[in-house]
Structure 1
Amino acid sequence: MSTPRFLNLPPGVTPLKLETPQGVFAALEALPVSGVVERWPALLVPGLTGSKEDFIAVLQTLAQSGRRVLAVDLRGQYETPGPDDPGAYTCAALGADIDLLAQIVGDGEPLHLVGHSFGGLVTREAVIDGRTKFASFTLMSSGPAAIVGRRAHASRRIMEEVPRFGLEQVWHDSFEPEALSAGVPDDILAFLRKRLLSNSPVGLSRMAREVVTMHDRTEELRQVEVPTLVLYGEHDDGWPADVQAEMAGALGAEIVVVPGAAHSPAVEAPETTAAALIRFWNRAETRHMDTRSASV
């Protein structure tokens, strides 16, 4: 279990509420501490049991590249409320939320989209549905279809046990022992507990079902022709590295393997991860401008 550096927000990073026709979404907004916003914005989307705080360690660095960068909680996740309707938490429904958020954050500008783990499956829906034109798309520690291995087992436990026993019991039986065995400090342990118990039980259970049943949409994503980056840690224990590399090849995407990182590169290797994102975003913007100039 990776833990974010969250207790003190970096300079230039502030909490924000984003108003949409689908409700209010909790976010962290990062702006350059020095300089001005001169490049296209970015929207970062977390994984199944995560939240916007999972990106705290990269937000300041990303913003200093001249961008407005926002990390959000999905519907029903941590500080974003959600309904008791399981249908609100399918990847398609959550992807429609991302479309709305992207259009608000972008405000007419192209926008860079990043999805971590389950967030990659959600954001992929927004890219494929064609409602929003994205400047680039990054799949961070995310795969082409259902997650596998121990993380699939953990997701099935969430899917089955949250409706039966509730979040509090699942915390005590699964999440707390894992965090304690990893030596997580008390203050971060308290945050992880608060975050899990703040989730919508209906939403968390349905999202867990989505991540273990998702079908492969690689071919549909390839047809969108958005500049794509596949980024993952060399020790990723979610989707196997060879599966992510094969997906990247099928997409014609760039690949970055983050040394020393596992399933959460933005937490485990923030500077390397941020530098890779900035390089990719800058190249995508340059290619866009070159194409635009050539067509004039």
Structure 2
Amino acid sequence: MERLIFLLLVPFIAMVFDGIRRKIIARMQNRIGPPIIQPIYDFFKLMGKENLTAKESNNIFFRISPYIYALLTFGVFFLLPLNLIAFEFDYLLLVYLFIASSFFIIVGGVASRNPFAILGSLREMILMIFYELAFLIAVVTFFFYANVTTVGAYSMFGLPALPIASLVLFGVAFIELRVTPFEIPEASSEIIAGAEIEYTGPRLAFFKLAGEMKALGFLMLTVFLTLGVTGILELLGLSLLLLLVLSFCQATTPRYRIDQGVRWYILFFILSLIELIRVVYFVSA
């Protein structure tokens, strides 16, 4: 029953987390900021609006991308922390859900045929080559070192044992949550809102919700792998602390140019490879 309740509350928890992030950033910038439950208001307001579609954007990929994006990110929580789906190497499915969700951000942006959305999608596509590979390698490293093949069997305090992989995971968290200095695909001063610019009404509501659920899922995954926490309440509490750190960085740092971001992403990729090689050598030695 507890698992079912959590699963039903996931969208609302994700929206509240985003509201907390907004409030923290506002306070740090000497603003009052919106209410913490503002994302919930926004979601239901958008659900009551009409789906407006430009003639150039009227295609199946544009229409279904937000819903598939939301479905994939929601699927993350069946594996972590609920373990409702369990099989050998199920952590690879967890990684796949995160990567596939990023793919549908790109599909939605390109299908809209808006030049700003296409530019944001192309940035996402170029950058994800490096940071998603770094993410995959880092996750595999944690499970390989722990000598387990399922999410449910993992309970290792990974931070001291795998400091480089932990650093890479924290770095990718900045990217996945679109936190400055890595807010490159959604650079509001350059490309307005990135891939979602043409979306309105329920489609935009699900696009926003999917991003919020993805952020919550990645926070929980980072805490799970680095600290070995498995309880739902403990995961949420520590994820909130990590969100505070990321919000502080977002409020106090400028955004990197795309060339600067690429250098960081390549560095994360190289570091993840180094850590994996070190772990393979250590385990086999």
In the superposition, the TM-score normalised over structure 1's length comes to 0.29
In the superposition, the TM-score normalised over structure 2's length comes to 0.30
Tell me: higher relative CO, structure 1 or 2? Use CA pairs within 8 A at least 6 residues apart.
2
User: Which structure carries more helix by proportion?
Assistant: 2
